[in-house]
Amino acid sequence: MTPTPIHGFTSAEIVERARALLPRGHGFARRIHRQVMLEGRYEPKGFGLGPEACAAWAAAFSFELPEVVRVQSDEGDQGQTSKVVLRLRDGLEVESVCIPMGRGRHTLCVSSQVGCKMGCTFCETGRMGLLRHLTTDEIIAQVLVARHRLRWPIRNIVFMGMGEALDNANNVIHALRVLNDEAGLAIGQERLTVCTVGHVEGIRLLAAQGLKRLNLSISLNAADDSLRSAIMPINRRTDLAELQETLASYRPRRNFALGVNYCLLPGINDTQADARAVAEFCKPLGRVLLNLIPYNPGTRPLTRAPQDHEVDRFITWLRAEGLPVRERVTKGRSVMAACGQLGNPEARRRRQRV
Ligand code: SF4
């Protein structure tokens, strides 16, 4: 029997499994799981268990975090943005990014897949194709490495790293439960955000989970079908009308505000007509907050980064249409840690050589 990664489950799930698998020592399951989650250590012996019970725990449950391959940091006005590259059990690598949010708060941007099959043209990860989904424990491991190995003061978690989170919906939803587990990491739902390019089946599945305070954001980037289909292939499968309808029915709570992310691509989606189309798209969605993200050119840029006056102009147009807008200050560009830049070019090169 292969040991189960203990950090891929909620406390209640581990208690249940321990009861089923362990003749002795299962009464410590809750405390052992808590030690793993809150201290990043798995030491059943420390709870006074005898050698036999410890051996049974080791045979039933494992705790291994991925190797830290490298950490790169970029100093910005609001603090340091850091990207960590982690090597998984099978040698594949994923990236997570610690982003300063001001007042000493940090958000960890986690990956849900190695690569991604969605093929968004402005994104480095899309170039890798999908290598595989991450398991629940591999998702949680990113948080545990950030907290316990790197000592990053993480407050919020966003599923906005490598991969389309809802293309791996079952593992991501399970990971949300593990993160939110009161007996473990206890990260409130209001501090968790799932970001999607518009995976409608995944959005419906998420809606059925009853996670009332969870945040959802959508990566829109164009509100015209032909333009969106050209830069985001998912739009050829699910057009804007279907996406809009799905989002309009996603109302987990009365004061829910949908995050709408818009990556500003100069010469592609930055006209006043584009701004108007975005406002039209958002009208039936209830409360929204538009996050404007200036494009970060990657290794094969689609266009250049927008200039400040172009960003300001687009924000003015959006606000004139009545949309609340927040500009996402670009962070981590020099270490390829900014939005759309995660893609591990080295891993991609290795893959191309295979
Ligand atoms: S933007 Fe997100 S969904 Fe699109 S290719 Fe990149 S990782 Fe995948």
Nearest CA to ligand 1 atom 7: 163
Q: What is the pTM of this model?
A: 0.93
Q: How far apart are CA 87 and CA 91, in angstroms?
A: 6
Q: How far apart are CA 109 and CA 217, in angstroms?
A: 13
Is residue 349 within 8 A of residue 95, CB to CB? The reply is no
User: Average model confidence (pLDDT) for the chain?
Assistant: 92
Q: Which of 114, 116, 293 to mutate to test the pocket of ligand 1 (most atoms within 8 A of CB)?
A: 116
Catalytic positions: 339
Q: How far apart are CA 295 and CA 261, in angstroms?
A: 12
Identify the residue with better confidence: 321 or 1: 321
Residue 120: CB within 6 Å of ligand 1?
yes
Cα(132) to ligand 1 centroid in Å equals: 14
| 76-132 residue pLDDT tens | 877 889 999 999 999 999 999 999 988 888 999 999 999 999 999 988 888 889 999
| 275-322 residue pLDDT tens | 999 999 999 999 999 999 999 887 888 899 999 999 999 999 999 999
Residue 116: CB within 6 Å of ligand 1?
yes
